[in-house]
Amino acid sequence: MNEPNLIQTARLVAPHQVRLFPEPLAAVGPDETAVRVTAVGICGSDLHWYQEGGIGDSRLENPLVLGHEFAGITAAGQRVALDPCVPCEHCEDCLQGNPNLCPNQFFAGTGTDDGGMREWVVWKTRCLVPLPDTLSDEDGAMLEPLGIALHAVDLGKVRAGMRVGVFGCGPIGLLVLQVARAAGAVDVVATDPLLHRLDAAKRFGARMWDGAQIVDVAFECAGANAAVQDAVRAVKNGGRVILVGIPSDDRTSFSASVARRKGLTIKLSRRMKHTYPRAIRLVESGLVDVHSLVTHRFALTKVADAFALAKTREGLKMMIVP
C-alpha cells in the first residue's frame, strides 16, 4: 500500500465550522511511519474545541485537525492504534514516568498540534501500538478513552469490595464504571441528566444514585460543577474524589466546607500514561465493552454532520470512518 501525495483533511477553521481541504501528505522522517486512518472518535474535548474554539487558556489560532482517538493501518499493512501523546522523553516529568504531564509534548488535535481527522497521518513510530486480530479498528480508536478511564481509576485506588460513584455517564464515565467494576468495585452508583446514558450505565451494572448512597471513591466525568458537588456529597469521610471532566468555563467549584469537614482527597486526572497494554487486555478478555459505546458512524466527508449531532449529546460515541 503506497502513501498518496494528496489527502483529504478536516480542519476546524472557527467554532462550529469544520471544512475539508485537499492537502499534501507530510514527508515521512526516519523515526516516523505513514498510517492510513481507519477510525477516529469524537471526544468531549473535541467538542470543546468545536463549540468554544479552545479549552481553558488554549485557543484556536490556526485551522486545526481535531481527533486524538484514532487507529489505522501502516503502509506495510500493520493495524495500529496511535497514541496521541508524543512526549519529549527528556524532561523531569517524562523521566519520572509521567509522560502525560510532559510540558513539551505533542498531543494530537489540540493547540497547534494536528490530529487524526484526515485520510493519512505521519506519526512517530514509537507511538504506534500494534492491534491484535481480536480488536477491530474502532476498538483500537476506543483504547484512548479507555486509557483515560484506566488512569482515573488508578488515581482513585479502587480496590476489591469498594463502593464507587460515577457522576456523568458519557463514554468516559461509562468506561470508568466498567474499569472500576473490573478492579473489584462491588457497588457502583451513577448519575447523568440524559436517560439514554443512565440506561447504558445500568447495562454495565450501575444503580442510579439517589442522593443518599455513600461511596468510597467518586469520579466526576461530566465537566459540570453540579456533578462535582454531587461527587463531594456522595463520598465518605476521608474518601477520594477524582475530577476527570473538563469544564466549559475553565472553572471548577464545590462546597469547601463539606469537602473540608470530610477531609477529602481531591485529584485531577490528566489524560493517561502507559495504559495501552492493559486496555487491550481488558477489551480482549471481555471485561470492558468498548464496541457498544459506538452508536453513530460517519464518513470523513460528513464530519460536519458528525459534530452537529455530537453536540446534541444524542447517542454515545460518534466515530469518523475515513
pLDDT tens column, 216-225:
999 999 999 9
* CATH no. of 147-268: 3.40.50.720
* CATH no. of 6-131+290-320: 3.90.180.10
Whether the CB-CB separation of 242 and 217 falls below 8 Å is answered with yes
Q: How many residues does the chain have?
A: 322
Q: Is 147-268 the same fold as 6-131+290-320?
A: no
pLDDT in tens, 144-180: 999 999 999 999 999 999 999 999 999 999 999 999 9
The rounded distance, in Å, linking the Cα atoms of 46 and 84 is: 13
Pairing state between β 58-59 and 54-55: antiparallel
Which pLDDT belongs to residue 256?
A: 95
Q: Please state whether 250 falls in left (phi above 0), alpha (psi between -120 and 50) or beta.
A: left
DSSP-based three-state secondary structure for 47: helix
* Residue 3 clears pLDDT 90, i.e. is over it: no
Quickly state the pLDDT bin for 76 (edges 50, 70, 90).
Answer: very high
pLDDT in tens, 185-222: 999 999 999 999 999 999 999 999 999 999 999 999 99
Domains of the chain, by residue range, sit at 6-131+290-320, 147-268
pLDDT in tens, 9-33: 999 999 999 999 999 999 999 999 9
- Cell readout for 130 is 500494534
- Cell readout for 164 is 464507587
The rounded distance, in Å, linking the Cα atoms of 49 and 66 is: 8
DSSP conformation letters of 290-315: -GGGEEEEE-GGGHHHHHHHHTTT-S
Expressed in angstroms, the distance from the first to the final Cα of the chain is 16
Which pLDDT belongs to residue 57?
A: 87
pLDDT in tens, 242-263: 999 999 889 999 999 999 999 9
pLDDT in tens, 79-123: 999 999 999 999 999 999 999 999 999 999 999 999 999 999 999
> What is the pTM for the complete model shown?
0.97
